[in-house]
Amino acid sequence: MIDEMVAHAREEAPNECCGLVASSNGDAVRIYRAANAEHSPVKYVVDPRDQIRIQNEIDEKGWDLGAIYHSHTRTEPFPSQTDINLARNWPDPLNVIVGVAGDDADVRAFRIVDGTVTETELDVR
């Protein structure tokens, strides 16, 4: 699934990509690509139509929203102030940032709660 996120990030560059990750019992089960409504290299907003469609499918399958992902195409994969502000709308899921500024992708996960950023290890199996 990491490879899917990296491929999405590279395809959308120089704009940021975004999407949602469904989980079941704490394990990621599916990646959902979403359109970036901002079409921007420095900001993302999950297209509301995609958000509703994806969340409905996640709910129908009995899964949870495990993570929101987006890319950083020009900077390191660490939450910007804009990312921190957006996280207020998504307080529970992980925030996964796919860094594709260099030749090698760097994928990192964060919990962002009340403006506090804590990096979380991604358990890749």
Instruction: List, for residues 47-89, the tens digit of each pLDDT value.
Output: 999 999 999 999 999 999 999 999 999 999 999 999 999 898 8
Please give the residue that has the higher pLDDT: either 93 or 105.
105
125 occurs within a structural domain: no
Share of the chain above pLDDT 90, in %: 87
Q: What is the CATH number for 18?
A: 3.40.140.10
Domain count, the chain: 1
Torsion, Cα of 107, 108, 114, 115 (10° steps): -80
- The strand ranges marked E within the chain are 18-24, 27-34, 64-72, 94-99, 106-113, 116-120
- Answer for the pair 96, 109: CB distance below 8 angstroms, yes or no: yes
Residues spanned by the domain of 10:
2-120
* Residue 37 included in any domain: yes
pLDDT of residue 93: 87
| DSSP percent split of the chain into helix, strand, coil, nearest 5 | 25, 35, 40
pLDDT at 90: 78
**pTM (2 decimals)?**
0.94
